[in-house]
Amino acid sequence: MDKHCNDKADGVTLRYSPELDHRPPKLREQHEMIKEGDRIPAVTLKQMTAAGPTDVPLADYCAGRKVILFGLVGAFTPPCSASHVPGYVDQAQALRAKGVEAIACVSTSDFFVMDAWGKSLGTGDSVDMLADGNHEFTRAAGLTLDLSSVGLGERIHRSAMVVDDGVITYLAVEPDSNSVTVSSAEAVLAKL
């Protein structure tokens, strides 16, 4: 991890510096980032369904099929709402034609927010909106983006991965979480 990490959100420069990290040591722990060839972490996410909040064991969700998981900083944030999620909704049919059986958006927002956001963007059956409210996946995958210094807390790095029967076959992490380039639906489609 770089000693200093710069990011921008809605025109505000965000700067993380480990010297300013005053959280208890346990919260500062960072797992090594997952990589291609690794198995997806066996954690449980949440999804709002007609029956209410439902556990989604990620290993089971990815078992026996090809899945795209894309992570983003937060619900209702500008790049996420303007291009990241809509890109996957727009490209869902093309991605499925390449053998993808499920597409999921993962954020550290809670399942109520993810559900409302998905409805506002018209995700329907195109994209599953999965909440990592406890940051289990974000931390286990080593994808934590600490924006505590600007009041946003820990988030997930903007990223995308292809998971084939539980094994990560493609992983892309954006160098700038305001950009939607290597983690876009179009970029992932080109890699399939």
Task: Report, as residue numbers or ranges, the catalytic residues.
Answer: 80
Q: Which of 47, 49, 20, 115 is nearest to 76 (CA)?
A: 115
Do β-strands 128-131 and 52-57 pair in parallel, antiparallel, or remain unpaired? unpaired
Do β-strands 66-71 and 102-107 pair in parallel, antiparallel, or remain unpaired? parallel
Backbone angles phi, psi at 5, to 5 degrees: -125, 120
Task: Enter the DSSP assignment of 33.
Answer: P
| Residues 113/75, Cβ–Cβ less than 8 Å | yes
Give the span between the Cα atoms of 129 and 127, in whole angstroms.
Answer: 6
Helix (H, G, I), strand (E, B), or coil: what is residue 151? coil
